[in-house]
Chain A
Amino acid sequence: AQSVTQPDIHITVSEGASLELRCNYSYGATPYLFWYVQSPGQGLQLLLKYFSGDTLVQGIKGFEAEFKRSQSSFNLRKPSVHWSDAAEYFCAVDYWSDFGNEKLTFGTGTRLTIIP
């Protein structure tokens, strides 16, 4: 069965510092992978997604993620964080139900705090 693990519940980073959020997945086939961000009190917004091809994916707001098949990982990175990046980040993997319908399963999220 598919699953997504985000091992870090909460990360604190200084403004201007680099950031890496970890994501590991378990899925039998070649996965479609996603990162979503949720600002406080809001819904989720797509940051980036990986389907195939180049393993380094660029997203919105200066984020990027690298797919590593050998490590079953899809870590999110940003070279220099801004105070507005404080939010909760969710990694997700696409899968197909027994009825052939496509869905997402999400990790438990990583809350990012930015300190001045």
Chain B
Amino acid sequence: DVKVTQSSRYLVKRTGEKVFLECVQDMDHENMFWYRQDPGLGLRLIYFSYDVKMKEKGDIPEGYSVSREKKERFSLILESASTNQTSMYLCASSFRQYSGNTIYFGEGSWLTVV
């Protein structure tokens, strides 16, 4: 079974703190994604990585950065957390070869910024 593991399920951080969300996948997938999920807005892509050290902005990258130093690990960084970044964050991964590959999701990280 494919496993995408998000290290923290629930976090509470203060405004202005630097926040790291970590994600690891065990299927040797080239692609990794960070989505944000909010009620009524569905899933919105923050950043995407298609190889080690390679990244591409998604639809809502402002206020976020990412790091992919190893193929299995993709980190989302909030440089200075703000209350409007309170949300559910979902990591996902997929193969890059061919088209229409299934994307596999982690269980999500609930972040509250106070």
Contacts and interface: CB of A to CB of B under 8 A. Distances in A.
Interface string B17-54: 00000000000000101010000111111001010000
A94 interface: yes
Interface string A48-66: 0101000000000000000
Contact of B48 (A103, A106, A108): A103
A70 interface: no
B56 interface: yes
Given A49-B100, A103-B58, A43 B105 contact: yes
A43 B106 contact: yes
Interface residues on B, range: 20 to 34
Contact of B100 (A32, A97, A105, A106): A32
Interface string A90-116: 100010010101111111110000000
A106 to B, nearest CB: 4
A109 B99 contact: no
A107 B42 CA distance: 6
Interface string A68-84: 00000000000000000
Given A49-B100, A103-B48, 9 more contacts: A36-B105, A41-B107, A42-B107, A43-B90, A43-B106, A51-B100, A101-B56, A103-B58, A107-B42
B42 A106 contact: yes
A43 B56 CA distance: 23
